[in-house]
Amino acid sequence: MRSRQAIALLALVGFFIAVYLWLHALGYGGPLKCGTGECETVQSSPQAVQLGIPVAFYGVVGYLALFVVALIGLRPAALADRKWSLLLAGISTVGVVFTGYLTYLELFVIHAICRWCVGSALVITAIWIVSLLSLRSPALRTDRGASRPLPDRPA
Amino acid sequence: MNRFYVVLAGVAVVLAVGTFTMLKSGGSAPAAATGAPPTVVDDGFRGYSQGSGDAPVEITEYLDFECPVCASFAVIQMPTIKEQLINTGKVHWRYRDFPLPIHRYSRFAAHAAQCAGAQGHYFEMQDQLFLNHQWAQTGKDPSKLFRELAKASGVELTAYDQCMEAGRYAQRIEFSRQEGDQMLVDGTPTFYLNGKKLNFRRLPTSDDFKAVVDSAIAALPPKPRPSPNHH
């Protein structure tokens, strides 16, 4: 349960980072608030658009999916269901791989680092680690027999 | 469990407010580039100029980027002036800033042009600001538009943003304005030919400038002819 709560919180943080970058890509607001000043270089590079869509939008969708799945997995009826943990691990693995590709582009193609992208990379990596750890922890027992009182022995 | 959802909602509200604030504050004109600086320092800069430094005539134009007359002069008359007088080596044309206090964003526009100039794109930015002059009629904050114009001028936006945010050339612009005051600039555009104020009864045309420049060149003392070599 704790791991899904952590993932929901982290996904929320990542979601707002992605929303900020996405709205900026759509032309809302002015220059990015970025201490190093390289965010604009990254965001205005050709690599900031993949398959005709701003990269940040993929982040919005990915983090939203993680958030929703984590919340669904937090329902009492779903807590013991391992498939939600598997789904979270699957989505975050895709996210980590995509983030790794984007970080490679920043370092070796664009030659600039955006603090917001680094922040998002840290968030998705944390989600990924938590989701993997949750797969290793034992599932909750939900079989009814486990909580039934033992039958009385015949005298 | 309920406590977790309260925390989650609280975090969501804080993040949403933070994102909205950053988007809102990021789009406004930075005060450092919009207002007059508290102090003025002469950095030795005397305006961007076009034409040969050896031209017999130098014309200095004091302009205000928000002034519609300056814009129409730049768009309609300057192309012919460039062709007939600047490109022919007759005139060296110098631009000086004279932001009028009645114009809210003229100092900001001058600053945008200076930041573009720092990257070697002053004239491209000046063209963009005058060609897309509708920004001066809307009264809206032109920060976003200026960034787009800077980008269209070939300006690298990271350095541009830093320059604008810091108000790097605010003192230079104010120095130019004070210089204009001393030169008795009383409106924009105001022109000086070799330091002497030109008084036109109406907005001058390229023909007016051709006439005054030709007249000034004709009045110049003839250049001494090189003496023949004796062997």
Backbone angles phi, psi at A66, to 5 degrees: -60, -40
| Residue at A149 is within a domain | no
Q: Within a domain: residue A56?
A: yes
User: How close B219 gets to chain A, by Cα (Å)?
Assistant: 53
Question: With bands split at pLDDT 50, 70 and 90, how would you rate the model's confidence at B164?
Answer: very high
Domains, chain B, ordered by start: 57-217 (3.40.30.10)
Pairing of strands B190-193, A53-54: unpaired
A27, B144: Cβ pair inside 8 Å? yes
* Residue A138 pLDDT: 62
Query: Taking CA atoms, what residue in A is nearest to B156?
Result: A41
For the ranges B66-80, B128-142, B181-195, the lowest mean pLDDT is seen at: B128-142
pLDDT at B84 over 50: yes
Cross-chain Cβ contact B162/A37 below 8 Å: yes
How much is the pLDDT for A55? 92
Cβ–Cβ of A12/B22 closer than 8 Å? no
Question: From start to end of B71-228, where are the E strands?
Answer: 91-97, 190-193, 196-198
> Chain A contacts of B12, Cβ < 8 Å?
12
DSSP state of A146: G
Task: Tell me, yes or no, whether A155 lies in a domain.
Answer: no
In angstroms, the separation between the Cα of residue B8 and the nearest Cα of chain A is: 7
Question: For residue B50, is pLDDT > 90?
Answer: yes
Instruction: Report CA dihedral (B10, B12, B18, B23) to the nearest 10 degrees.
Output: -160
Burial of residue A106 (number of CB atoms within 10 Å: 0-12, 13-18, 19+): buried
* pLDDT above 50: residue B7: yes
Contact flag A24-B23 (C-beta cutoff 8 Å)? yes
Give B-chain residues touching A40 at CB under 8 angstroms: 157-158, 161
CA distance B170 to B43: 11
Nearest-Cα residue of chain A relative to residue B17: A16
Identify all chain A residues contacting B165, using CB atoms and an 8 Å cutoff: 31
Whether A143 is covered by a domain: the verdict is no
pTM of the complete model = 0.60
Please, which pLDDT band fits residue B141 given cuts at 50, 70 and 90?
confident
Where does the pLDDT of residue B35 fall: very low under 50, low under 70, confident under 90, or very high at 90 and above? confident
Query: Which residues does B193 contact at the CB level (< 8 Å), separation at least 6?
Result: B57, B58, B59, B212, B213, B216
List of chain A residues whose C-beta atoms are within 8 Å of the C-beta of residue B1: 74
**Phi, psi (degrees; rounded to nearest 5) at A53:** -125, 135
Structural domain total, chain A: 1
A144 occurs within a structural domain:
no
Chain A residue with Cα closest to B145:
A30
CB spacing of B147 vs A30 below 8 angstroms: yes
Residues in A lying within 8 Å of B, measured between beta carbons: 5, 8-9, 12-13, 15-16, 19-20, 23-24, 27-33, 37-41, 44, 74
A28, part of any domain? yes
Residue of B nearest to A17 (CA): B19
What integer pLDDT is reported at residue A147 of this predicted model?
A: 46
Q: Do the domain assignments include residue A106?
A: yes
Where in the sequence is the domain holding A66, given as residue range(s)? 2-137
Q: What is the pLDDT of residue A65?
A: 97
Report whether A62 contacts A95 (CB < 8 A): yes
- A39-48, A122-131, B131-140, B187-196: least confidently modelled range: A39-48
Which ranges of chain A have pLDDT less than 50? 141-147, 155
- What span, in angstroms and rounded, lies between the C-alpha atoms of B148 and B172? 24
Contact A29 B18 (CB under 8 A): no
Interface test with B, best of A3, A4, A33, A40 (most B CBs within 10 A): A40
- pLDDT of the residue at B140: 80
Mapped onto helix, strand or coil, the DSSP state of residue B7 is helix
Query: Measured between beta carbons, which residues in chain B are less than 8 angstroms from residue A14?
Result: none
Q: What is the CATH number of the domain that holds A59?
A: 1.20.1440.130
CA separation for the pair A25, B146 (Å, rounded)? 16
pLDDT, mean of residues B78-107? 95
Residue B25 has pLDDT above 90, yes or no: no
**Looking at CA atoms only, how far is residue B165 from chain A in angstroms?**
10
pLDDT of residue A145: 46
In a domain, A148, yes or no: no
What is the DSSP code string of A1-67? Answer: -HHHHHHHHHHHHHHHHHHHHHHHHTT-SSS---TTS-HHHHHTSGGGEETTEEHHHHHHHHHHHHH
> What is the model's pLDDT at position B78?
97
ipTM of the complex: 0.79
